[in-house]
């Protein structure tokens, strides 16, 4: 269902973009045509703006935090309930907890002070703290690339090994305009951001996604 919604939104924006390009390229010969063109441009602009306004980005840290816990504890949980106690249920000792907090800082740029660490007993406590303090940025460029790489792999159903930092989206990965928009939306969901349409139109290689994430 989520992919269907993203596809519909991306398709709408791709159509709006195509309409904008088509209208802009038209050359008018008289005043009446000029008025029609102006009205058409205004209508298209409204369409693009409306499509953009439907994109809502919300950060859900659960998946990332489960991945961090699996990494630190060498476990393989798909999900963890909010009531799960990190020490009692997951058997995380002091060293494990310190590493979990360190990974949260490393991957999500959320620093949890020692005084706050003492209050985090359950997985839900950890989720709530990260949700409240996440500022929409990721510190490590390697983490950003790996996430974008995984998103593109999922969108195109291709192996991660085929995706490089300087891969050309169209020539190397076979993406069309709709794929570019869909990927941008998936990145928006993952990083809880919104990428402007005018920037998406200029994306040519994988690194362009990452540069926006690092310098927005």
Per-position DSSP letters for 119-183, written without gaps between them? T--BHHHHHHHHHHH--S--S-HHHHHHHHHHHHHHHHT--GGG--TT-BTTTTT---HHHHHHH
User: What are the tokens at 179?
Assistant: 């794929």
Q: Cβ neighbours of residue 29 under 8 Å, at least 6 residues apart?
A: none
User: Where do the domains of the chain lie?
Assistant: 2-53, 62-133, 141-215
Furthest-apart CA pair in the chain: how many Å? 78
The tens digit of pLDDT for each residue in 128-187 reads 999 888 766 566 677 788 889 999 999 999 998 999 999 999 999 999 999 999 999 999
Identify the burial level of 8 via C-beta atoms within 10 angstroms of its C-beta, where 0-12 means exposed, 13-18 middle and 19 or more buried. Answer: exposed
pLDDT reading at 22 higher than 60: no
The tens digit of pLDDT for each residue in 67-89 reads 999 999 999 999 999 999 999 99
Within this chain, domains 62-133 and 141-215 share the same CATH topology: yes
* C-beta of residue 109 within 8 angstroms of C-beta of residue 133: no
Q: Cβ neighbours of residue 105 under 8 Å, at least 6 residues apart?
A: 111, 112, 139
Q: Which residues are known to be catalytic?
A: 176
Closest CA to 134 of 109, 112, 115, 158: 109
The tens digit of pLDDT for each residue in 101-123 reads 999 988 888 899 999 999 999 99
User: What are the tokens at 133?
Assistant: 């303090």
User: What are the tokens at 171?
Assistant: 């020539």
* C-beta of residue 9 within 8 angstroms of C-beta of residue 51: yes
pLDDT at 215: 72
Backbone angles phi, psi at 205, to 5 degrees: -125, 165
CATH of segment(s) 141-215: 1.10.1200.10
pLDDT at 137: 58
Which CATH number among 3.40.50.300, 3.40.50.620, 1.10.1200.10, 3.40.1280.10 corresponds to the domain 62-133?
1.10.1200.10
Q: Cβ neighbours of residue 156 under 8 Å, at least 6 residues apart?
A: 173, 174, 175, 179
pLDDT at 15: 52
């Amino acid at each position: 269902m989520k992919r269907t919604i993203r596809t519909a939104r991306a398709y709408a924006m791709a159509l709006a973009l195509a309409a904008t390009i088509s209208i802009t390229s038209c050359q008018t010969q008289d005043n009446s045509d000029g008025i029609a063109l102006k009205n058409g441009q205004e209508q298209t602009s409204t369409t693009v703006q409306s499509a953009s306004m439907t994109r809502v980005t919300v950060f859900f840290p659960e998946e990332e935090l489960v991945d961090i816990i699996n990494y630190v504890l060498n476990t393989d949980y798909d999900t963890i309930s909010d009531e799960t106690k990190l020490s009692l249920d997951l058997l995380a000792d002091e060293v494990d907890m310190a590493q979990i907090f360190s990974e949260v800082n490393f991957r999500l740029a959320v620093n949890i002070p020692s005084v706050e660490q003492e209050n985090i007993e359950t997985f839900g406590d950890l989720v709530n703290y990260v949700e409240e303090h996440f500022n929409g940025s990721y510190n490590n460029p390697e983490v950003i690339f790996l996430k974008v790489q995984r998103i593109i792999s999922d969108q195109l159903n291709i192996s991660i090994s085929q995706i490089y930092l300087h891969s050309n989206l169209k020539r190397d990965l076979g993406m069309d305009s709709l794929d570019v928009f869909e990927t941008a939306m998936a990145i928006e969901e993952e990083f809880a951001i919104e990428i402007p349409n005018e920037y998406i139109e200029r994306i040519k290689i994988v690194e362009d996604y990452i540069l926006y994430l690092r310098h927005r």
